[in-house]
Chain A
Amino acid sequence: MSKIKLANHTIQIVKDVCAEFENKEGELINILHQVQHKLGYLPAEVQEAIAKELKIPVVKVYGVVTFYSFFTMVPHGENPISICMGTACYVRGAEQILDEFKRELKVQVGESTSDGKFSINCLRCVGACGLAPVVTVGEKVYGRVAPNQVKEIIAEYSNKNVTDDV
């Protein structure tokens, strides 16, 4: 078994979340949601720690993590970009939007830019089909996105981060 080499405070977060759900095996998905919300992703060591708390084999945790597309074992970028690939968005040109993001950021779906600022993912319908095609950056929803807006959207965050860094 790989040795758990997590910082103590990370382990404490995992323990607290598990305890909040009474270390119940049946709450695994809720626990994974919470832990991912707090840590940003679910690396192997975190899954081991959760398995230990719930007293279940770690492969059960891994089987669940790899089943659900919401869970990730790699951290998202600071500004996670999701392109809705629902049907309504697809027929209104979501694929071109995705291509544009991939070209602008030079990353593939599921990857982060080398500076960690952006990551691209595809999303199932967010239910904002009236605004198709839809892109979300973090919590913010962009509707009726045209390929030539992609640069603007990226710039909005690149600049913001520069000022934040300063």
Chain B
Amino acid sequence: MYKMHLLVCGGTGCRATQSKQIEENLRAELKAKGLENDAQVIITGCFGFCEKGPIVKILPDNTFYVGVESEDAAEIVEEHVLKGRRVERLLYTDPENKEHISDSKHMGFYQKQIRIALRNCGFIDPENIDEYIARDGYFALGKVLEMSQTEAIEIMKKSGLRGRGGGGFPTGLKWEIAYNNKADQKYVVCNADEGDPGAFMDRSILEGDPHSIIEAMTICGYCIGASKGLVYIRAEYPLAITRLQIALKQAREYGLIGKNILGRNFDFDIELRYGAGAFVCGEETALIHSMEGLRGEPTVKPPYPAESGYLGKPTNVNNVETFANVPVIFLKGHEWFSSIGTAKSKGTKVFAITGKINNVGLIEVPMGITLREVIYEVGGGIKDGKMFKAVQTGGPSGGCLTEKHLDTPIDYDSLLAVGSMMGSGGMIVMDEDDCMVSIARFYLEFILEESCGKCTPCRIGNKRLHEILKKITEGKGEPADIERLKALGNVIKDTSLCGLGQTAPNPVLSTISNFEDEYLAHVNEKRCPAGQCKALLKYEVDENLCTGCTLCFRNCPVGAITGERRQPHHVNQSLCIKCGVCLEKCKFNAILLT
């Protein structure tokens, strides 16, 4: 038995910052010190606190090292493992009182979190099925196989779990519909085509706890009467794919998937299908077409996949996070699960908080928590002491919420009511430097690239929305443009074929309704209050500060700056391309940006 466990985060984020090297160095150091039988190095899934990665956690004393570098391995082994002394400089520093905190429980980032879907991420080696089983893994499956299909579905219904992929459809009800549709073959599909830019919870779960998804899909297969499962996963997630493949192999070897699971007359196996870079494939009918080898174009619902899905058979589609909640519901009971959250939104929700926030990372919080708590307590507030401006929830189809919405409880219905949505859980924080018109344009650009092109409003309407926004950010907007954006946006929402188009105008409409002043400034005054829209910026020389050093003159790529040595220089606005080189080069702060 090992006396000590060194958990090294192996999520994509920490891997990118050399966590693999840290792991190797730790092993080498342990071996060099002859400690390889006392302490074990385990690569885990994401701890969530990506801002402070790479992270190394030491058990049993729960020491949480942040920002570890590969060179720190020797000190950790020498000091902590061998001598039992914490390496103080690698501990997290509380931003308020500047004290070191060693146990993650006491960090603001973790204090308000309840980890259900992420329960195993950062605790177990995702490539070792025994570690999953040691944390009651596959126990829920055993329990479910003792029940009748309808009993199990009833528990799911009572738990109040709703789809975590965006729409929030009650999961138990979805299973019941698929169960009631009789067919010779049914399918369970796990939607792992996480596409919201700025959301990475599905990836983290698959990387950190792949067995929970396999177990949940198998439970679902039993409940609805399906013998085949498919995971539709983004090809851009190589690590998640590898870990899932390893997990499937192990589960098969243990008889937890395959024929006669746990000795029962129940067969279930899972295959992988790869996405190929199409956001619209997150929509379930598009996803199904893609799995069939076709263009990922959505079709009109009904028929719903539960009636006619993959290969025309009843198909139940849930996303990764939804599935990750399932085993716990059977382990701890639906009463326990439904005691967390609000009246209509039960349990927790995982968010990827990113953008201009101190604690970028992956968090899991109970439904009903307010945006303020998430941003200021879990997220640690706005980066560099800047002013909070907006938070975008729900991915590219969500809305931008402002200061006045900060006390909105986070649940499906409250977010919809204020013009945004839960979506898959991206939460992007923006500060005073972000121009909301540019942000709306950015989202529309994304939609333009990702629209499948099938229906008119999404194919052409969003193109037109984008063109108008572009015009405004380039200083060519007219007052009527704002009304046109609203009118067109509302028609696109009302007439588009699938969820992508129906929500595409949200960022535009919500920024207009919450930041109309900013739009008006662009249109009427040709001014970008956040100073982001290049075309609206003006570089000028402050004659009082300019020393006539000619540095700007010599660096201007287009010869827009004129002036004699030791005389104040001038910017010729008609030539200026607003590249900002003059501002960067000036040593006397004499270039004014207005």
Q: What is A's interface to B at a CB cutoff of 8 Å?
A: 24-30, 32-33, 63-64, 67-71, 85-92, 123-132, 134, 139-143
In the bound complex, residues from chain A placing their C-beta under 8 Å from that of B293 are 24-30, 64
In the bound complex, residues from chain A placing their C-beta under 8 Å from that of B496 are none
CB pair B356–A91 under 8 Å, yes or no, is: yes
In the bound complex, residues from chain A placing their C-beta under 8 Å from that of B446 are 85, 87
In the bound complex, residues from chain B placing their C-beta under 8 Å from that of A91 are 354-356, 428, 430, 434, 439
Binary flags per residue of B429-443, CB closer than 8 Å to A gives 1, else 0: 010001000010011
Contact of A29 with B290 at beta-carbon distance under 8 Å, contacts A134-B16, A141-B16 already known: yes
In the bound complex, residues from chain A placing their C-beta under 8 Å from that of B198 are 86-88, 125, 129
Question: Is B195 engaged at the interface, CB distance under 8 Å to the other chain?
Answer: yes
Measured in the bound complex, the distance between the Cα atoms of B291 and A126 in whole Å is 21
Nearest opposing residue in chain B for A130, CB measure: B50
Minimal beta-carbon separation of B114 from chain A (angstroms): 21
Minimal beta-carbon separation of A125 from chain B (angstroms): 4
Minimal beta-carbon separation of A35 from chain B (angstroms): 12
Minimal beta-carbon separation of A103 from chain B (angstroms): 10
Measured in the bound complex, the distance between the Cα atoms of B275 and A32 in whole Å is 11
> What are 9 inter-chain pairs, A to B, with CB distance below 8 A?
A29-B273, A29-B293, A68-B275, A70-B277, A127-B236, A129-B13, A129-B354, A131-B17, A142-B16
Contact of A88 with B197 at beta-carbon distance under 8 Å, contacts A124-B236, A131-B17 already known: yes
CB pair B276–A71 under 8 Å, yes or no, is: yes
Binary flags per residue of B285-316, CB closer than 8 Å to A gives 1, else 0: 00000111111100000000000000100000
CB pair A32–B197 under 8 Å, yes or no, is: no
CB pair B197–A87 under 8 Å, yes or no, is: yes
Question: Is B396 engaged at the interface, CB distance under 8 Å to the other chain?
Answer: yes
CB pair A124–B276 under 8 Å, yes or no, is: no
CB pair A128–B276 under 8 Å, yes or no, is: no
CB pair B274–A29 under 8 Å, yes or no, is: yes
Measured in the bound complex, the distance between the Cα atoms of B446 and A64 in whole Å is 20
CB pair B276–A123 under 8 Å, yes or no, is: no
CB pair B16–A64 under 8 Å, yes or no, is: no
Nearest opposing residue in chain A for B199, CB measure: A125
Measured in the bound complex, the distance between the Cα atoms of B279 and A3 in whole Å is 35
Contact of A92 with B355 at beta-carbon distance under 8 Å, contacts A63-B295, A130-B51 already known: yes
Contact of A64 with B294 at beta-carbon distance under 8 Å, contacts A127-B237, A131-B13, A131-B16 already known: yes
In the bound complex, residues from chain A placing their C-beta under 8 Å from that of B526 are none
CB pair B278–A88 under 8 Å, yes or no, is: no
In the bound complex, residues from chain B placing their C-beta under 8 Å from that of A67 are 278, 295-296, 452
CB pair A130–B273 under 8 Å, yes or no, is: no
CB pair A128–B12 under 8 Å, yes or no, is: yes
Question: Is B125 engaged at the interface, CB distance under 8 Å to the other chain?
Answer: no
Minimal beta-carbon separation of A58 from chain B (angstroms): 14
Nearest opposing residue in chain B for A136, CB measure: B16
Contact of A125 with B274 at beta-carbon distance under 8 Å, contacts A28-B293, A91-B430 already known: no
10 closest A-B pairs by CB: A130-B50, A127-B200, A86-B197, A141-B16, A28-B293, A88-B354, A68-B276, A70-B277, A69-B277, A125-B197
Question: Is B15 engaged at the interface, CB distance under 8 Å to the other chain?
Answer: yes
Since A88-B197, A88-B352, A88-B355 are in contact, a sample of 13 more A-B pairs with Cβ atoms closer than 8 Å, ordered by chain A residue number, is: A28-B294, A30-B274, A33-B276, A68-B276, A68-B296, A70-B236, A70-B277, A87-B198, A87-B443, A88-B360, A126-B236, A127-B13, A128-B50
Question: Is B45 engaged at the interface, CB distance under 8 Å to the other chain?
Answer: no
Question: Taking each of B17, B279, B395, which has the highest tally of chain A beta carbons within 10 Å of its own beta carbon?
Answer: B17
Nearest opposing residue in chain B for A21, CB measure: B293
Nearest opposing residue in chain A for B53, CB measure: A130
In the bound complex, residues from chain B placing their C-beta under 8 Å from that of A87 are 197-198, 354-355, 392, 395-396, 426, 428, 442-443, 446
Minimal beta-carbon separation of A71 from chain B (angstroms): 6
Measured in the bound complex, the distance between the Cα atoms of B51 and A129 in whole Å is 9
Nearest opposing residue in chain B for A144, CB measure: B17
In the bound complex, residues from chain B placing their C-beta under 8 Å from that of A63 are 295
Question: Is B399 engaged at the interface, CB distance under 8 Å to the other chain?
Answer: no
Contact of A33 with B274 at beta-carbon distance under 8 Å, contacts A87-B198, A88-B428 already known: yes
In the bound complex, residues from chain A placing their C-beta under 8 Å from that of B277 are 68-71, 124
Measured in the bound complex, the distance between the Cα atoms of B473 and A90 in whole Å is 16
Question: Taking each of B238, B279, B295, B392, which has the highest tally of chain A beta carbons within 10 Å of its own beta carbon?
Answer: B295
In the bound complex, residues from chain A placing their C-beta under 8 Å from that of B273 are 29-30
In the bound complex, residues from chain B placing their C-beta under 8 Å from that of A68 are 275-278, 296
Minimal beta-carbon separation of B553 from chain A (angstroms): 21
In the bound complex, residues from chain B placing their C-beta under 8 Å from that of A128 are 12-13, 16, 50, 200
Measured in the bound complex, the distance between the Cα atoms of B449 and A123 in whole Å is 11
Contact of A127 with B276 at beta-carbon distance under 8 Å, contacts A67-B295, A67-B296, A85-B197 already known: no
Measured in the bound complex, the distance between the Cα atoms of B198 and A70 in whole Å is 19
Minimal beta-carbon separation of A19 from chain B (angstroms): 16
* B352 contact from A26, A92, A129, Cβ within 8 A: A129
In the bound complex, residues from chain A placing their C-beta under 8 Å from that of B396 are 87
Measured in the bound complex, the distance between the Cα atoms of B12 and A32 in whole Å is 25
In the bound complex, residues from chain B placing their C-beta under 8 Å from that of A88 are 197-198, 352, 354-355, 360, 428
